[in-house]
Amino acid sequence: LTQSGLTDRRAIIITDANVAGLFLDEIKTLLVPHFSTVSHHIIPAGETSKNFTALQDILTAFQHAGLDRHSLVIALGGGVVGDLAGFAASIYMRGVAWANLPTTLLAQADSAVGGKTAIDFCGTKNLIGSFHQPALIYVNTAALATLPQDQYISGLAEVVKYGIIDDALFFDYLWYNRHHIADRNVQVLEHILHTSYKIKAKIVAQDEKDTGLRQVLNYGHTFGHAIESLTDFTLPHGHCVALGMICAAAYSRMDASQTGRIATLLDFFGLPTKLPAPYNFTADDVYKMMQQDKKATHGTITLIISHAIGSVEITHGAKESDILTTITAIL
Ligand SMILES: NC(=O)c1ccc[n+]([C@@H]2O[C@H](COP(=O)([O-])OP(=O)(O)OC[C@H]3O[C@@H](n4cnc5c(N)ncnc54)[C@H](O)[C@@H]3O)[C@@H](O)[C@H]2O)c1
């Protein structure tokens, strides 16, 4: 990322208030020798920062830092920081390079790969965004040591998803190593991240702009996003995806023993397989929200189904009655 011949190359680190306290100084110190200036900008932590105001603040920080086309934007944090900083980098001066330094399991295993950037808009997640691949993704599993347990297990839901959609052997690996995973064993985590990356990269390489195959990454997410919206984003993303995967397995009429293994693994990690208290909505509430999903076409719902762990297919025009029955699996 260092460019020879440039005497004035500037960098800016975008991070959130929690991550700044943990890693900002260390990362800044590492970068200072390689850039003429290294500034930083701190956003409030959490999903509510994925909005226009935070985006505008970041673009203003770019301008104050004197960034130009040769500058580098560094996202240091979870998926929120990555989505927001990546989007800002994609539109500033029609696009400047960015590096992603993910610090949550969800970001390390999933969101840092694939080049999707976005903010939420009018109550819809990721409605405004772009495809802008990072020039570098740097993953350090040591960062996960400070991650709160709820956030850690939220990331595990996406990891389990990779086993279900693409790799039965990987699912077995997760199953047999579940105690090490729960203990955040670094070697096991490295294998998990490596495999998740390989699977995601393979799929994204075939459909970068998400017009076909990439939709399989959405396994469990159509249900999950609806649940997430209904909880007003108070239930972490991965918890909602876990519930969504239970619904997807029910919709797919997956063999009971395989559905049981998925549910047992999610439950072992502490992820919900039934809608937890105090949330209390009906199958109809979830269905109505699913129809508003930005990936629903004129209210027609596309679902990713898996008849057996390790393989998926995309189905369009799912029937309302089937979906409603399916949702009762988590109620
Ligand atoms: N671009 C994509 O392809 C893609 C894919 C999946 C999800 N996402 C997006 O990712 C976002 C969710 O990401 P997330 O789960 O990482 O949430 P997040 O970025 O909000 O991070 C979760 C919390 O953990 C804190 N945190 C981060 N790293 C920490 C560390 N090492 N130690 C202690 N605390 C730490 C953060 O401050 C925050 O409070 C959503 O907005 C979702 O839409 C994007």
Cβ–Cβ < 8 Å for 209, 292? no
Atom of ligand 1 nearest to the CA of 46: 20
Position 8 scores a pLDDT of 84
Q: What is the DSSP letter of 318?
A: -
Q: What's the rounded Cα separation, in Å, for the pair 50 and 77?
A: 13
Q: Whose CA is closest to atom 34 on ligand 1? A: 147
Q: Is the CB of 116 under 6 A from ligand 1?
A: yes
Name residue, tokens 């301008």.
63
Q: Other CB atoms closer than 10 Å to residue 255's CB: what's the count?
A: 13
pLDDT of 122 reads: 87
Candidates 15, 48, 81, 104: which one to mutate for ligand 1, based on the most atoms within 8 Å of Cβ? Answer: 104
Classify strands 10-16 and 37-43 as parallel, antiparallel or unpaired.
parallel
| Predicted local confidence at residue 5, as pLDDT | 62
Q: Are 244 and 222 in contact (CB under 8 A)?
A: yes
Q: What is the pLDDT of residue 15?
A: 99
Tens-digit pLDDT string for the chain (331 aa): 556 566 789 999 999 999 999 999 999 999 999 999 999 999 999 999 999 999 999 999 999 999 999 999 999 999 999 999 999 999 999 999 999 999 999 999 999 999 999 999 987 889 999 999 999 999 999 999 999 999 999 999 999 999 999 999 999 999 999 999 999 999 999 999 999 999 999 999 999 999 999 999 999 999 999 999 999 989 999 999 999 999 999 999 999 999 999 999 999 999 999 999 999 999 999 999 998 877 777 778 999 999 999 999 999 988 999 999 999 999 9
Q: Among 107, 163, 168, which Cα is nearest to 138's?
A: 107
Do the bridges between strand 136-137 and strand 97-102 make them parallel or antiparallel, or are there none, so unpaired?
parallel
Cα distances (Å, whole numbers) of residue 192 to 23, 137, 172, 265: 23, 16, 12, 15
d(CA 6, CA 1): 12
Ligand 1 centroid vs 286 CA: distance in angstroms? 24
Closest C-alpha among 5, 180, 60, 164 to residue 172: 164
Q: What pLDDT does 123 receive?
A: 79
- The H-assigned helical ranges of the chain are 17-19, 25-31, 52-64, 79-91, 105-106, 149-166, 168-176, 178-182, 186-206, 221-230, 237-251, 256-269, 283-291, 320-327
Residue 226 carries which DSSP code? Answer: H
What's the rounded Cα separation, in Å, for the pair 312 and 321? Answer: 22
- Ligand 1 geometric centre to CA of 271 (Å): 17
- Could you identify the atom of ligand 1 that is nearest to the CA of residue 126? 43
> Which of 24, 83, 117, 152 is the pocket-test mutation for ligand 1 (most atoms within 8 Å of CB)?
83
How far is 280 from 276, CA to CA, in rounded Å?
8
- Distance from residue 7's CA to the centre of ligand 1 (Å): 34
